[in-house]
Amino acid sequence: MDPAQLFAPERLEPRFEMFEKITLRSLADQSDKNFDHMVLSSTFMPAPYRKRLSEMCADHLGDRAKVIFRRYKFVDKVVHNFTTETYGDAGHVMQSVLDDDDAVSVDFVEAMRFEAETVLKTPYHSDPITFVTFPRGFTLGLRDGEEPWVAKRNVPFTNLGLCILKPPAHHKNLFNISHLKVGKRFGARMAGANRPFYIRTIHDHNDSRARHGEIMLSRDEILQQTRYFPLLANFFAEKEMEAAAH
């Protein structure tokens, strides 16, 4: 309702920093490079930031980044049109969603591809669309004035780690469904590996909240997770070096 407030520099600067250090970093680190990253933003974003966003995505992902700007419109319509126009000749596409401050593990695309191929090869698979949920991940706390922290998270069918496998022109996508009802309404599969596949970030510029009872990781445990999320070293390895210096 207020583009001036939404796109104020004091809001955009920290969001751009997290988008580059967390989201784009996790995508650039993918073991399977055969994917596209569709980035949707608004035409109300000031021109210098639109240019900066496009250049930042291209620097990290090259032509795999598809940055588009639209006026106000239902996101599911934008995603549907983009998917149909871009991948219309494909038999199936598999899609997931990332906010601009969240991340996926280095093998997330690889895992998505494995799950998609498994579903399509299943003899009893007959659903037009199938959802796959990767329920386990981490919460990364980056609030000002606090030490960074990481906690375990296990939430099936939340938007984090949720994927949809479908023909490109199918009208359903991750923006026009009720996430928590997916398992009841559609064909669904849970990736049950006991390891993390995503990071959601809590900071002073979003409205996410930590879940009561989340299990906090120690510093050593956090650094062990850099095999899945090398980006964590940016927030915790430096602290280790500072402590060692003192």
State the pLDDT at residue 246.
43
Distance spanning both ends of the chain, measured CA to CA:
49
CA distance readout (Å), 102 to 97, 127, 137: 10, 30, 11
Report the phi/psi class of residue 62: left, alpha or beta, with left for phi > 0 and alpha for psi in -120 to 50. left
DSSP 25-94: HHHHT-S-----EEEEEETTS-HHHHHHHHHHHHHHHGGGEEEEEESS--HHHHHHHHHHHHHTTSS-EE
Structural domain tally of the chain? 1
Residues 56, 58, 61, CA angle at the centre, nearest 5°?
A: 105
> What is the C-alpha separation between 44 and 21, in angstroms, rounded?
24
CA 242 to chain centre: 30
Segment holding 210, helix H or strand E: none
Query: Are residues 119 and 165 in contact, defined by beta-carbon separation less than 8 angstroms?
Result: yes
State the pLDDT at residue 227.
96
Query: What are the residues whose beta carbons fall under 8 Å from the beta carbon of 47, sequence distance 6 or more?
Result: none
Beta strands in 74-221 (DSSP E): 93-96, 103-104, 130-133, 136-141, 149-154, 162-166, 187-190, 198-202
State the pLDDT at residue 241.
41
> What is the C-alpha separation between 198 and 137, in angstroms, rounded?
5
CA dihedral 121, 123, 127, 129 (to 10 degrees): -10
Q: Which residue has the tokens 């099936």?
A: 156
State the pLDDT at residue 12.
95
**Residue range(s) defining the domain that contains residue 10:** 3-245
Residues 197, 167, 127, CA angle at the centre, nearest 5°?
A: 80
- Token reading at 214: 């989340």
The β-bridge relationship of strands 149-154 and 187-190 is: unpaired
Mean pLDDT by 10 residues, the chain (246 residues): 88 95 98 97 95 98 96 88 94 96 97 97 92 96 89 94 97 93 93 95 75 79 96 79 44
pTM comes to: 0.91
